[in-house]
Amino acid sequence: ILVLGDSLSAAYGIRLEQGWVALLQGRLKAQGYGHKVVNASSSGETTGGALARLPRALELHRPATVILELGGNDGLRGLPVADVRGNFEQLIERSQRAGAKVLLIGMRVPPNYGPAYTEAFHALYGDLARPRRLPLVPFFLDGVALDDALMQDDGLHPNADAQPKLLDQVWPKLTPLLPR
């Protein structure tokens, strides 16, 4: 399982072993899955940056499943939704061509850029997932983002207490992709 994400998957501001990706490896092992998790996430990553790194990651790790947890930094930078969509399309297609199943994790952006951008940005995840029949976590930070007790002081990154909740968002969408 290759996790290609940004700071939310790179355990920004907390110890790496506290992050949801490390917790995923533990849960897989505890439940009898033999899958290895490779965390190729990087703080500050955009869909464009991930696209540049993806070919090497696919070649090196040959994943059966790719989890794409990206887009938040694109949205915070106000990148055009069409560009973000194009990057995601290539990330998905290249992963699938390499034989991997893809799980897409959706994000929302703050309303700073206005409702048209905010709505178009969030809608792109469903628009990508539906025609490709990809499993989708609609909003990764659902139940976390607005809870100060689960967020770091920066208001952007979940703290260690939030990580099991993030894993719980991913788990039901991921397990159907994993053979035992």
Choose, from 7, 9, 42, 95, the residue flagged as catalytic.
7
Over residues 81-110, the pLDDT tens digits come to: 999 999 999 999 999 999 999 999 999 998
- The pLDDT of 16-40, averaged and rounded, is 97
**CB 91, CB 4: distance < 8 Å:** yes
DSSP-based three-state secondary structure for 158: strand
Residue 180 has pLDDT above 80, yes or no: no
What is d(CA 8, CA 20) in angstroms, rounded to the nearest whole number?
Answer: 9
- Average pLDDT of the chain? 97
Give tens-digit pLDDT for 56-82.
999 999 999 999 999 999 999 999 999
pLDDT (average), residues 150-175: 97
Count CB-CB contacts under 10 A for residue 112: 10
pTM: 0.97
Of 9, 42, 157, 168, the active-site residue reads: 157
Give helix 115-132 / helix 81-97 axis angle, nearest 10°.
Answer: 20
pLDDT at 110: 87
Q: pLDDT confidence of 53, banded at 50, 70, 90?
A: very high
- Can 7 be counted among the known catalytic residues? yes
Q: Which amino acid is at 73?
A: N
142 classed as catalytic? no
